[in-house]
Structure 1
Amino acid sequence: MTADQDGSGTAAGGEPELSDSLKTFGAVLKALREAGGLTQEELADRVRYSAAYVAKIEQGKRFPPEALPGRAEETLGLVAGKVLAAAAKSLRRKAGLASWFLQWAGIEEEAITLYAYECRGIPGLLQPEGYIRAVFDRRLPPLSEQQFEQQVAARLERQELLAARPNTSFSFLVEQAVLERQLGGPQVTSALVDNLLAHGRRRNVEILVMPLKQHDHSGIDGQMYLAETSSNSWFGYVEGHDSSTLMADPKVVSAMLQRYGKMRSQALSHEATVGLLKQIQGAL
């Protein structure tokens, strides 16, 4: 799906597309793990990923990280490592839109630093349920009732990252215009502001608003996401209409980091952001 807005990269039913290649990779990993006499939790501990992440890879719901075959080889043996490496190369050759999103979702789940700049809507990790429903209610082509509820549930589940990863540093830059739009109406916007204020009090979460009038603005190229992995590698991610791109080229990601850093200095301070949010809420 789009990381935060229109659901590209998910199947019609709201769950991430389960391509045959991803499901096959997951089945191979599971078979190798079971042959080694390990539980998911035991394998996760040895390959240094979370048990939930390993479970999703085995289910074909997450794109396997590049380091997985090498780490698995240390635990499951040389042959297992070679099998997984070959399967992973095949996945990358066949990767489509959904696979790109699944790979980013995996990076996001394991990130030690996550940055997000949005100029189109509120980042998905910060959307209260009313706002989520307003987003998917306006989805075109329209969703069935079952698809709609599955999309809402999937996004709410994804938001558990903020509480589940207290040692991950989250930073969100949001345009004031997105708040002033009042998507879903005043009541939804009031609940949204409450949610932003609540998350902004978390020790690991920074929420800054870019003022409506800002003559010095480095975000002219639009929305972007950045994540730092446990190996201190950085990745960038952007999305458009039914398309998405993951950036791993250090030069490209470095430029994105420079833009994000500049925008943090151009946005309102934490105190000013809180003041603006309360002002917006008071005017509803």
Structure 2
Amino acid sequence: MTDGLGGTSGGGTGGEEPETSDSLKAFGAVLKAFRKRARLTQEEFAPRVRYSVPTVASVEQGRRFPTLEFVERSEEVLDAFGALRGAARHLARQPGLARWFRQWAKLEVEALSLYTYECRLIPGLLQTEAYARKLFVNQLPPLGDDQIETNMAARTERQRLLRERPNTSYSFILEEHLFLRNTGGREVTRELIDHILALAEQRNIEIQLMPQVKEDHAGLHGPMRLLETPDNRWLAYCEGQESGQLITDPKVVSMLQMRYARMRSQALSLEDSLSLLRQMRGAE
């Protein structure tokens, strides 16, 4: 799937085994120490944070990336004096990301502008949990439960960008047919549309739809991503099946910028795009 998350969100399947890292192990050790300080077993602690015992065990062993919700609930239940939140800030955000996507993911974190055109599926930053989980469950070869949860956690972690970087300009151009496909069923699609409509209310997020019937289309070469770095350089990224390419050549990046700019003029306006989404949501 895309976003290099072993699932789909705009590029590449990339199903990878859950990874461990020193930062994950350190977080797990801190969590375990506070749990024991509270005189709780894993079986007693798990229902209090509303996660399964295997999930708690995997996090403590440094094999699973904890979600923001897991960290916050653990902090509250264990009265950890902010130690768990602090440890979570130092986690390496690698598990659940395909190796070819990691460099781009790091660049996203500090981007001043981030533009995405997608024609295969809803980009990972915009996905709901139900939509993303459907993509991961349908992936071939099949993923194990641990892999699915690791990928879900990584995707949820990336989505924090939309909440935590209000000064970053986000632009998404999405093909109309992505919503007509009904991936996951009608309820999943309805929830997805509601979610995207809510995101579009943020001043720094622009959503445009490319009509299903369009005689002129500058994006026929496939999906693309563009970003502006803190030092005002522009970079691009293109992803296929089991591969991704970071593009730094100014001439190529300029060409992709030209195509993206043309697509913005060819797609429906912001107002008309949201109106069409509301119509599709009502038709579901």
> Structure 1 length normalisation: TM-score?
0.70
Tell me the residue number matched to 1:254: 254
Tell me the residue number matched to 2:17: 12
CA–CA distance in structure 1, aligned partners of residues 130 and 227 of structure 2: 27
CA–CA distance in structure 1, aligned partners of residues 2 and 118 of structure 2: 12
CA–CA distance in structure 1, aligned partners of residues 149 and 98 of structure 2: 20
Q: 1:255 to 1:211 in 2, by over 3 A?
A: same
Tell me the residue number matched to 1:108: 108
Percent of aligned pairs sharing the same letter: 49
Tell me the residue number matched to 2:34: none
Tell me the residue number matched to 1:216: 216
Tell me the residue number matched to 1:180: 180
Structure 1 consecutive aligned stretches of length 4 or more whose deviation exceeds 3 Å: 5-10, 51-56, 59-62, 97-100
Number of equivalenced pairs = 215
Q: State the SS of the aligned residue for 1:213.
A: coil
Tell me the residue number matched to 1:272: 272
Q: Kindly provide the amino acid, as one letter, of the partner of residue 208 in structure 1.
A: Q
Structure 1 gap segments, 5+ residues each: 24-50, 63-96
> Structure 2 length normalisation: TM-score?
0.70
Please state how far the C-alpha of 1:52 moved relative to its aligned partner.
10
Please state how far the C-alpha of 1:100 moved relative to its aligned partner.
3.5
Please state how far the C-alpha of 1:127 moved relative to its aligned partner.
0.3
Tell me the residue number matched to 1:241: 241
CA–CA distance in structure 2, aligned partners of residues 5 and 216 of structure 1: 22
Larger relative contact order (Cα-Cα within 8 Å, sequence gap ≥ 6): 2
Please state how far the C-alpha of 1:124 moved relative to its aligned partner.
0.5
Q: State the SS of the aligned residue for 1:226.
A: strand
Q: Kindly provide the amino acid, as one letter, of the partner of residue 174 in structure 2.
A: V
Tell me the residue number matched to 1:47: none
Tell me the residue number matched to 2:125: 125
- Answer 1 or 2: which has greater helix percent: 1
Q: Kindly provide the amino acid, as one letter, of the partner of residue 17 in structure 2.
A: A
Tell me the residue number matched to 1:169: 169
Contact 1:6 1:139 in 2 (8 A): no
Please state how far the C-alpha of 1:198 moved relative to its aligned partner.
0.3
Q: 1:270 to 1:254 in 2, by over 3 A?
A: same
Tell me the residue number matched to 1:74: none
1:170-226 C-alpha deviation (Å, 9 max, x unpaired): 000000011110100000000000011000000100000000011111001010000
Please state how far the C-alpha of 1:60 moved relative to its aligned partner.
8.3
Contact 1:110 1:229 in 2 (8 A): yes
Structure 2 gap segments, 5+ residues each: 4-8, 23-85
Q: Kindly provide the amino acid, as one letter, of the partner of residue 192 in structure 1.
A: L
Contact 2:237 2:245 in 1 (8 A): yes
Q: 1:198 aligned to 2:195?
A: no
CA–CA distance in structure 1, aligned partners of residues 262 and 107 of structure 2: 24
Contact 2:12 2:243 in 1 (8 A): no
RMSD: 2.4
Q: State the SS of the aligned residue for 2:101.
A: helix
The residue correspondences of 1:149-164 to structure 2 (distance < 5 A) are: 149-164=149-164
Please state how far the C-alpha of 1:134 moved relative to its aligned partner.
1.1
CA–CA distance in structure 2, aligned partners of residues 53 and 175 of structure 1: 36
Q: State the SS of the aligned residue for 1:130.
A: helix
